[in-house]
Amino acid sequence: MASGLAAAIKKEFGIDATLMEGHGGILEVAVNDNIIFTNHKQCSLRPQNEEILQRIKGYKTNSLQQKQESVSGCSCLNPAMEAVPADISSCCPPAAAPAGNSQTCCCNDNSTATNISPGKRQLLIEFMYIDLSVCTRCQGTDSNLEEAVAEVARILEATGMEVIVKKIHVQTEDQARELGFVSSPTIRVNGRDIQMDVKESLCQSCGDLCGDEVDCRVWVYQGKEYDTPPKAMIIDAILREVYGSSDTNQKTPARPVDIPDNLKRFFTAMQNKL
């Protein structure tokens, strides 16, 4: 569905629409920060390409009058893209959001999560990874993060805090450089890496994926090393950020001059496989 729509948009408007990896049957189309179509909570709704094209034409005609409309849960947008058809995993999944409210929102890849609850404080958690299909460390980190967020969201609900999770698939050197991404996987809470000192070891699954030797992150918590961050480590990092005990001078640099050779090898090897 999404790939066919991207081709139709390219043919009609000359726009290279970007597909965003996801699952759960959710389709959203955004133009210049505005969602013009979503089937959120109506996953069986599959519009014809012509309907989407007409909506894009309507947006282009009435762009000065259009205002962004909120959708239940969150809006998943990419301000840099003029048109983004996206199969996006469900926002506010049942495992992460307490029943009956939208205290937790989850958006995938380079989307900007837009909260619909006015007056709420927001806690942004970014999960950056190079692969979720094969890499056991990325998969385990994703799973532990979801469990940790599910628990901490219930704790923070009473304080009026909303936890927003943004999952970013880092696929190129330029993207890694733009994000300040230096090791996979990475978890940041309000822009702060939960483990500033990077330690890595050989990752067999990523090596098998790209055909070269690749190191992935080793997590150190309470004096022990783990291939995936313990749930308690993630919760500790979140609560430190919320209650102000984290070191404000240790915020992750937004744009490093370069990225490690380890990641360069991975991206080069993956590009050569295409």
Per-residue pLDDT of 118-171, as tens digits, reads: 567 889 999 999 999 999 999 999 999 999 999 998 888 877 888 999 999 999
- Provide the pLDDT for residue 90: 34
Residue 193 clears pLDDT 70, i.e. is over it: yes
138-163 core/surface letters (b: 16 or more CB in 10 A; e: else): bbbbbebbbebbbebbeebbeeebbb
Which of residues 218 and 66 earns the better pLDDT score?
218
How many CB atoms sit inside 10 A of residue 64's CB?
5
Per-residue pLDDT of 214-235, as tens digits, reads: 999 999 999 999 999 999 999 9
Cα angle at 201 between 152 and 240, to 5 degrees? Answer: 25
Q: What count of Cα atoms within 13 Å lies in the side-chain half-sphere of residue 3? A: 1
- Provide the pLDDT for residue 48: 77
Q: Tokens 């295409």 belong to which residue?
A: 274
Provide the token pair at 123: 């806690």
Cα 219 from Cα 186, distance rounded (Å): 10
DSSP 113: E
Q: How far is CA 118 from CA 112, 121, 142, in A?
A: 17, 9, 28
Indicate the domain borders of the chain: 1-87, 92-274
Give the list of residues 6+ apart from residue 247 with CB closer than 8 angstroms, or none: none
**Taking the model in full, what pTM does it have?**
0.60
**Mean pLDDT within 23-41:** 65
DSSP 160: T
Residue 8 clears pLDDT 60, i.e. is over it: yes
